Structures are given as C-alpha cells and as structure tokens.
C-alpha cells in the first residue's frame, strides 16, 4: 500500500473523526502500544459499524480494534481519557501531521529510498575488545568491578552467550537420513511407494525436531545486587532479543514483568525502558512475596516445561516460610530451577544467608553468575538441561 493511497482513503472519510482517532493512536503509542495505520482504518470502519451512537458503545468498539492484548487495555483507557476526557473532543490539527508521521515510520520498513533511519548511527560505534588476552581478562573479572568501558566491551560477548539456551524435543518431526534409532516416516514411505506401484521400495525416517524451551529469568534488583544488576539486565535483554519464549522479570519488594520493555531492538533503549518500569530499584528484598506473585500472576508462563533462572544473592527481608512454600511450588511447576548468586563465587561461600538456606534445597543448580565466565557456565548448563 503506497502512502498516496492511504492519504486518499483517509481524506474521503469524515475529517472531524480522523483527528481525534489519530490523537488517540498517538497517545497509545506514547504509552508503549503498537497502533498502526491498518488499525486506524479499522477503527473508522468499526465506528461506522456500531449502530447506536452512544459514546460508550463507540469507546468499546475502539477498544476492540485498537487493543491487541491485555496490556493494551490499560493504555487504551489512559489514552481515551486524555483525548476524549471531560466529554471534549480534542481537534488537534497537528494530529493529522501525526498521521503523516505514522507513514514515515512505516516507509523505511518498505524500503522507500531517501528516508533517514534515525537509530542507525549509535549502533555502529560499538567498541570491540582489542586482543584475545583482553577478552580473557574480561571473562574472569567480577561484574562489580567493571568500568564503563568494560561494560560496553562485554556487551558483544554477552549477546553471543545469550543465544545458547535449553531445547527440548517437540511433537513435530523432521525427515532424517539415518535409520538407527529413528522411527519410519509412514507418510513419506507410502507416498514414495505410489511411484513404485505400491511396493515400499524407498524407505524414509523421521525424528522429533528440537525447539527452544521457554526460559523465565527473574532478577533481584535490590540494593545488595546493585553492582551486578546492570550486567545481569544486559544479559536478560540479550536473551529476550536472541530467543523466542523468554520471559524477564525484576523484583525488589514487588515483581515487575519487563519482557515487553526489554524486547526493543536497540539495547540501550530497552534497558532504559526496563529501568523506568521497575520502581523499587536498590530497595529492600522480599524474595518470597516476589515468587508468590510469579506463581500466581504468571503461573501459566512458568508451567509448560519452562526453565526458571533466579538471579539473587538471597539477602531476604521477608518470612522464610513464605519463601519455602513458594520455592516448592515453583520447583513443582517448572522443569528446572537454577539459582544464580554472585556471592557464591567467593571461595569461602556457604549459603548462610537466611534466604539462601531456605531456597538452595529447592534449586536444581546453584551457580555464581558474577562474571562472564560464570555466565558461560550458565549457558552450558542450560544447554544440557
């Protein structure tokens, strides 16, 4: 669909309706929703299809069309309030330019020449480690001692690590050549035998294919984890970007889901949005109540054979009984439970902190997670699961 066609169709519709619709879409996009030109056109058709002109029905019709998930429902409410609040329709002439702005956002994806891509520049100036020995030093160094430069250098290595993750056998099968240990592919055999007059001369085999196992990352961002939070969030962002079926959460005293924020293509923007979304950075820790929220609010994502990775040092201010119960429940729902504790890297480490004592028996693996080398170990463990 070329831009010219879109403008013509819009102008043919009634103009007083376009401006507020465009404002509504702009508000939703500002709040993080994704509303495109297609949805706007659909919204207009929906308004025409609603038979009664009551404002409530129109609002509900717009909600059905412009929302595509539960998270959007709230954004829609806020945007609707902002644009149509107090019974007043905002006829904002600049909103029509906004419609042009939407097309400008669409055009680069269609590959039209002559449109600049604003976020291309900073991506190219990623620093690269100079020599192999630098990489080695970087790998072993504890995250808490990284300088700004080292954080930037480590990014590429983190991205490579994030691609490795757990897989599992799926119900889909794929054709294989070897016969050993694999089952016959009846459909292919029969089909091939039609060519040979009904005799199954050619044999074909099939094996189950592998697909990525869902991974749930839960990161402690309280005060005691502050030196590690930044690198660990980078790792989480890289995981969300690299694989499908990765969920990311952060907690201090409450749990916040940050998968959506971290899934932006630009890593810096992703981290910024995630940081804004989490309100209890560097505060206290209540691991038990955070896991309770995970088990209840997101139980369905954790089930279905997910691998749960908790990144926390275990300094918990909540009640140990709650932590015990929730860890037990989490262990039962998840396929495997991995605990990363940066304090565990210390040679004299013993899980004496109250939280760790309660939690460690329920975890399948306990790893440090304080350096690139230990993240590599994590990647290895995940692949073995």
Partner 1 sequence: MTFDQIGSVDAVSDALAAQGYLAERPLALAIHLAVTLEQPLLLEGEAGVGKTEVARALAAATGARLIRLQCHEGIDLHHAVYDWDYPRQLLALRAAEGGVDEGALFSRRFLLRRPLLEALEHDGPVVLLIDEVDRADDEFEAFLLELLADFAVTIPELGTIQAAHRPVVVLTSNRTRELHDALKRRCLYHWIDYPNPDHERAIVHARLPGVPEAVAARVVAAVGRLREQGDLYKLPGVGETLVWARALLAVGDDVDLYDTLGVALKVHEDVQRVRDRRVLENV
| Binding interface with partner 1 (CB under 8 A) | 34, 36, 38-39, 42, 45-46, 49-52, 57, 60-61, 63-65, 67-70, 72-73, 170-172, 186-187, 190-191, 193-194, 197-198, 211, 214, 244-245, 259, 292, 295-296, 299-301, 303-304, 325, 329
CB closer to partner 1, 70 vs 117: 70
Query: Would you say 251 and 287 are in contact if contact means Cβ atoms under 8 Å apart?
Result: yes
CB closer to partner 1, 123 vs 191: 191
Backbone angles phi, psi at 216, to 5 degrees: -120, 120
User: For residue 242, how many C-alpha atoms fall within 13 Å in the half-sphere facing its CB?
Assistant: 19
Least distance between partner 1 and beta carbon 109 (Å): 13
Query: Would you say 287 and 314 are in contact if contact means Cβ atoms under 8 Å apart?
Result: yes
Three-class DSSP category at 74: helix
Query: Would you say 339 and 250 are in contact if contact means Cβ atoms under 8 Å apart?
Result: no
C-alpha to C-alpha distance for 187 and 264, rounded to whole angstroms? 42
CB closer to partner 1, 44 vs 164: 44
Least distance between partner 1 and beta carbon 45 (Å): 6
C-alpha to C-alpha distance for 149 and 129, rounded to whole angstroms? 10
C-alpha to C-alpha distance for 310 and 363, rounded to whole angstroms? 9
Backbone angles phi, psi at 339, to 5 degrees: -115, 130
Which residues, including other chains, have CB under 8 Å from residue 379's CB and lie 6 or more apart? Answer: 161, 162, 164, 165
Nearest to 75, CA basis, from 41, 83, 18: 83
C-alpha to C-alpha distance for 259 and 247, rounded to whole angstroms? 5
CB closer to partner 1, 202 vs 304: 304
CB closer to partner 1, 60 vs 91: 60
Least distance between partner 1 and beta carbon 264 (Å): 13
Least distance between partner 1 and beta carbon 245 (Å): 6
DSSP 311: E
| Helices (H), ranges, the chain | 3-12, 15-30, 37-49, 55-66, 70-84, 94-110, 121-124, 132-140, 148-162, 186-195, 226-242, 259-262, 267-277, 287-297, 299-302, 320-333, 354-359, 372-384
Least distance between partner 1 and beta carbon 28 (Å): 13
CB closer to partner 1, 191 vs 202: 191
Least distance between partner 1 and beta carbon 61 (Å): 6
Query: Would you say 287 and 253 are in contact if contact means Cβ atoms under 8 Å apart?
Result: no
Least distance between partner 1 and beta carbon 49 (Å): 4
CB closer to partner 1, 30 vs 186: 186
User: How far from 303 is each of 216, 218, 237, 249, 263, CA to CA, in Å?
Assistant: 10, 15, 22, 15, 22
CB closer to partner 1, 68 vs 94: 68
Least distance between partner 1 and beta carbon 197 (Å): 6
CB closer to partner 1, 117 vs 300: 300
Least distance between partner 1 and beta carbon 60 (Å): 5
């Amino acid at each position: 669909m070329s831009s010219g066609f879109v403008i013509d169709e819009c102008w043919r519709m009634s103009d007083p309706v376009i401006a507020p619709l465009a404002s509504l879409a702009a508000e939703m996009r500002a709040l993080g929703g994704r509303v495109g030109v297609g949805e706007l056109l659909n919204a207009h058709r929906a308004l025409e299809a609603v038979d009664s002109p009551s404002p409530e029905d129109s609002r509900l019709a717009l909600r059905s069309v412009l929302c595509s998930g539960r998270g959007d429902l709230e954004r829609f409410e806020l945007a609707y309030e902002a644009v149509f609040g107090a019974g007043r329709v905002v006829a904002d002439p600049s909103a029509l330019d906004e419609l042009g702005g939407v097309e400008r956002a669409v055009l680069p994806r269609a590959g039209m020449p002559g449109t600049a891509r604003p976020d291309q520049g900073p991506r190219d100036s990623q620093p690269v480690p100079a020599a192999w020995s630098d990489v080695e030093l970087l790998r072993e160094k504890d995250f808490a001692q990284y300088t700004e430069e080292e954080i930037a250098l480590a990014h590429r290595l983190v991205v490579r690590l994030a691609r490795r993750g757990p897989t599992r056998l799926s119900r889909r099968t794929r054709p294989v050549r070897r016969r050993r240990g694999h089952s016959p592919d009846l459909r292919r055999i029969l089909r091939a035998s039609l060519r040979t007059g009904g005799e199954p001369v050619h044999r074909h085999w099939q094996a189950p294919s592998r697909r990525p196992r869902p991974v749930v990352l839960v990161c402690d961002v309280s005060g005691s984890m502050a030196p590690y939070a930044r690198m660990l969030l980078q790792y989480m962002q890289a995981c969300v970007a690299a694989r499908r079926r990765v969920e990311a959460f952060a907690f201090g005293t409450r749990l916040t889901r940050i998968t959506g924020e971290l899934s932006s293509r630009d890593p810096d923007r992703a981290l910024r949005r995630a940081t804004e979304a989490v309100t209890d950075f560097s505060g206290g820790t209540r691991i038990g109540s955070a896991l309770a929220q995970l088990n209840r609010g997101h139980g369905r994502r954790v089930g279905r054979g997910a691998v749960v990775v908790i990144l926390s040092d275990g300094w918990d201010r909540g009640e140990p009984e709650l932590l015990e119960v929730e860890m037990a429940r989490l262990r039962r729902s998840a396929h495997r439970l991995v605990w990363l504790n940066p304090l565990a890297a210390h040679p004299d480490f013993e899980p004496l902190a109250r939280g760790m004592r309660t939690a460690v028996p329920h975890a399948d693996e306990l790893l440090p997670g304080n350096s690139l080398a230990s993240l590599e170990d994590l990647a290895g463990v995940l692949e073995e699961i």
